[in-house]
Homo-oligomer: A and B are copies of this chain.
Amino acid sequence: MRIEPDSHVPVYLQIVELLRSSIAAGVYRAGEGLPSLRVLSTDLRVNPNTVQRAFDELCRQGLIESRRGVGMFVAKRGTHSATARAEETAQAAFAQAAAAALAAGLDVDRVRELFESALPSASKKSRTKKTGVPS
């Protein structure tokens, strides 16, 4: 998943989603450190302030914890919480897209067809996901 500056979704929320799915997938495990503000900002080619805003949001959600002068670390129940939130997010997105399709007059079977036809491309995108994990 890359950052799309031209999306109508704010970049800091895209970063929140990116880190949250990485935590859920086990790329960063409980107690481990995340890449630093400045490293992430250069990697994602984004302003450090934007990354910090994403960190703030993840702290607020309890997924990560800050140790001043050291770095950001995945909270104890971070992996579990991230997975739960990923499921909620996906379900909400499915519900919204399905509601829009039904409102446009499509029937339920057609909506199921569209979902199934969307799955293969989604699987391809989710494959080569692993990036370097810092110590």
Instruction: Report which of B86, B89, B95, B118 forms a contact with A122, defined as CB distance below 8 A.
Output: B95
A101 sits at the interface (CB 8 A):
yes
Instruction: Report which of B26, B95, B101 forms a contact with A87, defined as CB distance below 8 A.
Output: B101
A70 sits at the interface (CB 8 A):
no
A99 sits at the interface (CB 8 A):
yes
- Which DSSP category, helix, strand, loop or mixed, fits chain A's interface? helix
In the complex, what residue of chain B is closest to A97 when comparing beta carbons?
B93
> Is A102's CB under 8 angstroms from B123's CB?
yes
Contacts of A37 in B (CB 8 A): none
> Is B100's CB under 8 angstroms from A118's CB?
no
Instruction: Report which of B86, B98, B106, B133 forms a contact with A118, defined as CB distance below 8 A.
Output: B98
